[in-house]
Structure 1
Amino acid sequence: MGRGDPTHGQWAGLEPLLPQGIKPGRPPVWTRRQLTDGIRWRPRTGAPWRDVPERHGPWDRVHDRFRRWQRDGTWPRIVTHQSVTGPWPRDTTSLPSVTRRPCRWQSATSGCDQPPA
């Protein structure tokens, strides 16, 4: 468990909020906890997906899990639950963003560099 990763008690509160897999077959190589910690590591550090540490699983698998849970509404459900029960582990800024969009500065013709009126 790395710095910033949830404790066992915090994970016990988070795990029921995550979707269950429905595919039978081989057991997973990477646990849901490892992949979820990798998903949380990325926005906390601001690093690109390809820089997710190997202890969290392959970066493309971590990114795939993030996108799948983003599409099915898992992250808004977690944020809503945490806003009612309290922050996890410290605040919701360590959870992946589901509503914010990055601001991209463009050329002066777009008016982005001018202060708001």
Structure 2
Amino acid sequence: MNTKLHAVSDANGRPISFFLTAGPVSDYTGAAALLDSLPNAQWMLADRGYDADWFRDALQEKGITPCIPGRKIRNTTVKYDKRRYKRRNRIEIMFGRLKDWRRVATRYDRCPKAFFSAVALAATVIFWL
């Protein structure tokens, strides 16, 4: 089974919240699910998969400035802070720490609930270490 793990982390790269979707599902589904669990922050760093006008507007309503590059098929260019966007590697480091847990990296569990439980356990330990 193919799944995507959508995550929110703080400025230090510690995991805050997760959402699991099926593999072929769009990133917008994960963005909509995690929108309510966003912490108070000044900036939101995300990759091109989360580039949508409704998502940018929702972030602006919460007082968060989006730092999301536009998709390549977008007709109008979107301005974003490229220097700040380079800090997005912290979320990649967080996913790397999750994959240090063999059960998460190899996805032994076929059931999504059991897999998500393993992710939650690993994230809890990572958050406090």
Which structure features the higher share of strand residues?
A: 2
TM-score of the pair, normalised by structure 1 = 0.29
Which structure features the higher share of helix residues?
A: 1
| More contact order relative to length (CA 8 Å, sep ≥ 6) | 1
